[in-house]
Amino acid sequence: MPYLILFAVLLLVIYLPQYWVTHVLQRHNQRDEENFTGTGGELARHLLDRFDLQHVKVEISEVGDHYDPISQSVRLTSDKYDGKTLTAITVAAHECGHAFQHAAREPLFLLRSRLASVSVWAARLGSFLLFSAPFLALLTRAPSVALLNISGAFLIMGFALLMQLITLPVELDASFNKALPLLQSGYLQPAQVPASRQILRAAAWTYVAASLASLLNFWRWFAILRR
């Protein structure tokens, strides 16, 4: 019964914020705003040029809006890149916020970038340990093989949790310390600011939800492995 409750909580934590975020983004992505003279892609290019980041590219993406620190590219889905909606403009400014973090070499952003590459190898090693542990237990019958399960789970769940906890403040900074002040400096009309703030807040909640889900998942694995 406790595990059913935990499973239900996990579903609510993961899917309810996603539904809300999708709803908020779509609601403000329906029509072009008359006061926007350029698209999301054009705004991104303008902001990057304004802050002497001409080397950062602006590209269309098919895998979601993001900033790629390796190729130094702001990538927007086609509706944001070509759109003049409030969602397009707000998301473009947010992704540029990550480029500003990178250019300023902000510690948390750099730490997240390093951990992103390390976590890929940690997940692979963790998966290998979890896969091989039952076979080693059958061959050796050694109780210490259980440490492989613990190590594997920690590498997978622990790194995922750490990544989410570091990602959250990085995303909040890109939204509310970088994008929103810029947008309020003349790109938005006063009446548009609350909706833009709502878009940024909704996006931030996806990372809050992901952090909570990772924490609950890590706690569940830890409870199982302690038995």
The pLDDT of residue 192: 96
pLDDT for 73 equals: 97
Q: In this predicted structure, what is the pLDDT of residue 16?
A: 72
Do residues 164 and 210 lie in contact, with contact meaning Cβ atoms separated by under 8 Å? yes
pLDDT at site 23: 86
For position 116, what pLDDT does the model report? Answer: 74
Mean pLDDT by 10 residues, the chain (227 residues): 64 71 88 92 97 97 91 96 96 96 96 76 59 57 54 62 80 94 95 94 74 62 57
User: What per-residue confidence (pLDDT) applies to 80?
Assistant: 96
Domain count, the chain: 1
**Full-model pTM:** 0.77
Which residues span the domain enclosing 216?
2-225
User: Amino acid identity of 190?
Assistant: P
Question: Given the structure tokens 């698209």, which residue do they identify?
Answer: 39
